[in-house]
Each structure stands twice: as structure tokens, then as C-alpha cells.
Chain A
Amino acid sequence: MAKERWASRVGLVLAMAGNAVGLGNFLRFPAQAAKNGGGAFLIPYIVAFLLLGLPLMWVEWAMGRYGGQRGHHSAPGIFQSMGRSPMWKYFGTIGLWSCLIIASYYLYIESWCLAYALWSILGQFRNIADVNPDYPSEFFEILTGETANHLIAVSPWGMLIFAVCVTINIYILSRGLARGIELVAKVGMPLLILFAAILAIRGLLIDPATDPAAKESPFKGLNFVWNPNFESLADPAVWLAAAGQIFFTLSIGMGSIHCYASYLREKDDVVLTGATTAWTNEFCEIILGGTILIPIATAYLTLDVVQAKTASGSGFGLGFMVFPTLFDRWGWFAPAAGFLWFGLLFFAAITSSLAMGQPVMAFLQQEFGFRRDRSAFAFGLMLLPLALCVATLTSKTFSDEFDYWAGTVMLVVFALGEIILFAWVFGMEKGWEELKSGAEMWVPKAFFYVMKYVTPVFLLAILLAYVFKPAPDWGAYLHQVRQSLGNGEALPAWQWADDGMIGKLLHVDVSREREAALAKNAEARDKVLHNRTLSPEEQAEQLNKLDQQREEIERFWSRLPIWRNIDRLVMIGVYLGLCFLVFTAWSKRRVEGRA
């Protein structure tokens, strides 16, 4: 089998940067920055980048190159080659598992970007601002088939575009590293930057004096993102949010960087190329990502509305449900603007999803002798059952669970394991020499100690914060604790957060959302009962509908924990299945005298 290689260093950097630059750069970062102290958020963010992001990026590059020199192009083999103990390959299997699970829902979101981009350029979002501003939300429902309190969410159009998206990914992957992934990155990344730059400039040119639809200056939104609130620096939750954002934005802890780096030669540099990748991601996130979403939304919706819509720390709702309506204010440029926005999100997504397919394919090629096209097809087959669950059931089941466990928690677990392996099992001295081998940039010795002590502690803190997260979040809880201690009162009651690991395991979010839905229903019922303008027949009809809705709520939310437990069993099953493949591969290696 011909050995695959990257064609050029710039191509590799763009492919790696494409892997890192994803939807989070444009949708999550601005919302997180605005939520956590504006400009001051950038202080813990950059500190986290230097203490967590950059060291982990270098560690993953160095591990990948080391494993690649020993014939391994996916995490199980790379981990085993550094750790010696046979158990490391099963830990490394998380790197395959995450890629497979994340790809199954990430590709679905990618298909939405493609659908919105096509719908925009076809002019289907034209003239909606005054007639039907909710049309983008309706389009989203058409695309996903989601309806409140229903388990099944099937949309033929959504399935079709999802299938198209998966086929595009498989086709690109089947073309190989240089002619597939690298080529797409070389085209996609410059286009992404160009699209983002056009939108950012056009957004900042919105002038309420000349644009009748604009309510405020976009600079008010920019001020919201950048005005530093130094008090927030004393809040540990802000530091945690910054560390989380850095961690997730760089796509570390997934096994894809190891895989890409494994195609380097022994004396190829990893320090400069790794740093270039990380800084390119930061350029896209801080300079471009921070200048589009919130300034444009503020200009047309006012800052108060934007604050309310990004209070959760996510800009997803704004980006998909609101932006097409806002672009409609831009006249003839509206279809192009919509295409640029969703096009850049699509490029950001596809360059990341390709990086999730490559490790699985590399494993199949390396261990089972699959040809590239067959391994791409096999990846598609492995993806199929998971993708079908994601695309046919409400996002509250498989999508959300996959995102939480594979796309959040296990990334931290995997990164913690890899830094322990690199710095403590393989040995920091050996690891440092491995990192510096062929380096074209000086690495300060301080990073030796950062990698050995600071990064593992940082990761452990993030993990523990996730496991034991109190409601509503750490920031609010610690504030309550400080207040209670100051007033000499008893400590506030501990309640598990919806999105903390223990809270998730106990289905706390399900109970809370069920109660909220029932309360909303009761409120609506109350309104109908006290509405004197309704005739008795109309009142009876509406009450009947609300009673039916109440039954649906009861049925849906009581069944949801069962479905979520099934999701978790599926994830465990996928992991065990991959472990079996790894076991078979190493048994085969032993028989062939390669183990």
C-alpha cells in the first residue's frame, strides 16, 4: 500500500486549521465572550491558550508524528506505541469513538449550513423581514422535522441534504490526504476567511442614520463584546468558561490532530506548524468570529435582545433563526450575504468533519488492509446507524447526548489521559526531545513545566468542574456562597446543574424542562379560562387542545430518560465494538509478528 503524505506544509497547516476552525469560532466564541465579561474574558482566554491550548496542540502533534514513525496513524496505535501497556490502545480507542460519534451529529449540522446556504442564494429568504420574520425558524423545522414534545423528527428534505453532505464527505475522504482533505482545506480556508471578512466589514458599515431598519450602531455590539469588565476576572467560572472555549475551539482531545500529524516524517517540524495552526484558529475566532454575529445582530435587534438571545453562551439561535431575516435588510446583497454566512459555516464545518473521518479510515487501512475508497465507504457504513438515529429522532435524544458525552466530556477525559501519557508515562524528558526534534521555532523551557504540571491540573479542574457542576452554574453558586459566608448564613443548598455530568446522569435537565413545559401549559390554560372574549365553544376547544398538549408533554418527558439511557447504551456499545476491532487488529498483528 502506498504511503500517504501531505503535499505541502501550508496545505497541512490549512487542513489542521480547518480541523480546528469550526462552527464554535463564529457562533460560540462571541456569545461566550459577551457572557463572561466582554474584553476581560480575553485575559483568561489567552492565559488558557498559553497554558492549555498551545501545549496540548504541541503534545498531540508530537504524539502523532511519533506514532506515525512506528506505523500508526490512529490513536489506539499511537497511544500504545508511547505507553507500552496494552491498555493504552483501548484508552486511545476513545479517539476513534469520539470521531465517529461526533461526526454523526456534526455532519447533520453541516447539512443545515449547506441547506441554508443554498436556500439563501436561491433568494428564498428574500422579503421575509416584514412579511414573515419567523420564516428561518420555520425553515429549520421543515429541515429537521422537529415538533415540540414529539420523539420522532423526520424530514425528507433534511434527510436528503444530510445524505448529500455525508456523500460529499465520503467522496473527499476517498480521494486521499493530498488530493482530498488538503485540497479542500486549501480552497475552503481562504474562502472562509474571505467570506468572514466581507461580512464583518459590511456589518460594521451598518449606519442607523442611513439604514431605516437599523436600530443601533453595530459598534454598540462590538463594545458589548470588547468592553472589559475586570470584576469578572475574580470569578472562577469565567476562567473555567475561557478554558473550556480554548479547549473546544482547537479540536484537541479527539484523535484527529494525532492522525493528521502521523503523516509527517521523523525530522519534520511540529512546533512551528502546530503553533501556526493554533494561531490561525485564534485569528479566525477572535478577529473574524468576534466581529460578525453580535455587531450585526445588535444593529438590527438592539443590544438587550442580543443579550437575551446569547445568555446561554451560544449564538446558534441567532446564527440560524435570526440572521437570514437580518440580511434581508441588505437589499440586493441579501442572498449573497446569506450565502457567505452559511457558506463560511459550511466550510468551517466540512474541514472539521473530514478530520473526524480520517482517523477511522486510517485505522481500517492500517490494521485491516482496506483500500482508501473502501475505508471511506466503511466509515460511511459505520456512521449510518448513528446518523439515522440523529436524523430521525428529536435532538433531545441522540444529538444532545452525543454532543454532551462525546463532544464535551470525553474530549476532556481523552486530553487528560494523553497529557498524563506524554508527560508522565512516556516521560517529559523524552517527550520534550521528541517535541523539539526538527523544530523550526524555539520553545521556551517554561512549556516543559507547563506540560508536566500546569496542563494536567488545568484539565483535571475542568473535568471536576463538569462532573460536580452545581445549579445554575459555578459562578452563581460561588457568588451565593460568598454572600452567605459574608452574612454569616448557612451555605446555599446544593443542586446539580442540568449540564453537569452528575446532573446529566440523573436526568436533572429532563425533570426541569418537563416542569417548565407543564408550567407553560398551565399558564396558557389559565389565560384561556380568564379570557372573557372567547365564546364557551371556543374556550372548550382551546382547553381541549391544551389538555391534549399536556398529555403529550407528560408522555414525551416521561419517556425521554428511557431514550437517553438507550443513547448511552448505544455509545457504550460503539466503544466496545471499536475495542473489539482494536483487539482483533492487535491479535492479527501478533499472528503476523508485527505486535
Chain B
Amino acid sequence: MSEMTGQAWLFMLGVWAFVAVCTGYCFWKLLTSPRRFGDAEEDNAPTSSSSDSAEKRS
């Protein structure tokens, strides 16, 4: 471990902490979100033909 300079340690741990916190925060938000998808009753997505009319409308 003495092979690493103080600057290298600082840089490495700083970047690791930044990346780990951002990744952890995103996963925490995602996993604690009350919103889910995959429920059939929520699936009001248009079918192919109705989606085409939606495209014409927009």
C-alpha cells in the first residue's frame, strides 16, 4: 500500500466515493419508488394501429 502516493489515494477514494454514492443514490431512489411497471391494469399503451393514429394526432 505504501506504493501509492497520497495524491493517488486521495484521487482514487474521492472518485470511488463519488461514483458509489451516485450509483447508490439512484438505486435507492429506484428501489424505494412506489411506482412500478409491469401491472397489466396500468398498461394502457396504445396498440400498433392506435399508436399510429396517435402519431398522426401529435
Binding site for B on A (CB under 8 A): 1, 3, 5-10, 13, 38-40, 42, 46, 68-71, 81, 216-217, 219-220, 222-223, 225-228, 264-266, 268-269, 272-273, 275-276, 279-280, 282-283, 286-287, 366, 440-441, 589, 594
Contact = CB atoms under 8 A, between A and B. Distances in A.
B23 A283 contact: yes
B7 to A, nearest CB: 6
Contacts of B55: 70-71, 81
Contacts of B54: 69-70
A286 B16 contact: yes
Nearest to B55: A70
Interface residues of B, number: 40
Given A70-B51, A279-B23, A226 B37 contact: no
Given A71-B48, A287-B20, 13 more contacts: A8-B36, A9-B30, A39-B11, A69-B51, A71-B55, A219-B2, A226-B4, A227-B5, A227-B11, A264-B37, A269-B33, A440-B35, A594-B48
Closest 7 CB pairs of A and B: A71-B51, A39-B11, A276-B26, A227-B8, A70-B55, A219-B3, A279-B23
Contacts of A6: 37-38
Contacts of B29: 272, 276, 440-441
B12 A265 contact: no
Contacts of B5: 223, 227
Contacts of B11: 39-40, 42, 226-228
Nearest to A81: B55
A275 B26 contact: yes
Contact of A7 (B9, B38, B52): B38
A227 B7 contact: yes
A273 B48 CA distance: 25
Interface in B31-57: 31, 33, 35-38, 42-49, 51-52, 54-55
Contacts of B47: 3, 71
20 contacts: A7-B38, A8-B37, A9-B37, A38-B8, A46-B15, A69-B45, A69-B46, A71-B47, A71-B52, A81-B55, A222-B8, A223-B3, A227-B7, A227-B11, A272-B26, A280-B26, A286-B16, A440-B29, A440-B30, A440-B33
Contact of B44 (A217, A223, A265): A265
Nearest to A265: B45
B24 to A, nearest CB: 9
Contacts of A286: 15-16, 19
Contacts of B2: 219
A270 to B, nearest CB: 12
Contacts of B19: 279, 282-283, 286-287
B23 to A, nearest CB: 4
Contacts of B49: 71, 594
Given A42-B15, A69-B51, A286-B15, A276 B36 contact: no
Contacts of B45: 3, 68-69, 265-266
Contacts of B27: 276, 280
A228 B51 contact: no
Given A13-B30, A223-B8, A366 B48 contact: yes
A434 to B, nearest CB: 11
Contacts of A9: 30, 33, 36-37
Nearest to B44: A265
Nearest to B26: A276
B4 A222 contact: yes
A463 to B, nearest CB: 28
B23 A228 contact: no
A568 to B, nearest CB: 36
A521 to B, nearest CB: 42
Nearest to A77: B55
Contacts of A7: 38
* Residue among A46, A70, A219, A286 with the highest chain B CB neighbour number at 10 A: A70
A201 to B, nearest CB: 14
Contacts of A13: 30
Contacts of A216: 3
Nearest to B5: A227
Contact of B4 (A219, A282, A594): A219
A272 B15 contact: no
Contacts of A222: 3-4, 8, 12
Nearest to A589: B52
A42 B8 CA distance: 12
B36 A279 contact: no
Contacts of B30: 9-10, 13, 272-273, 276, 440
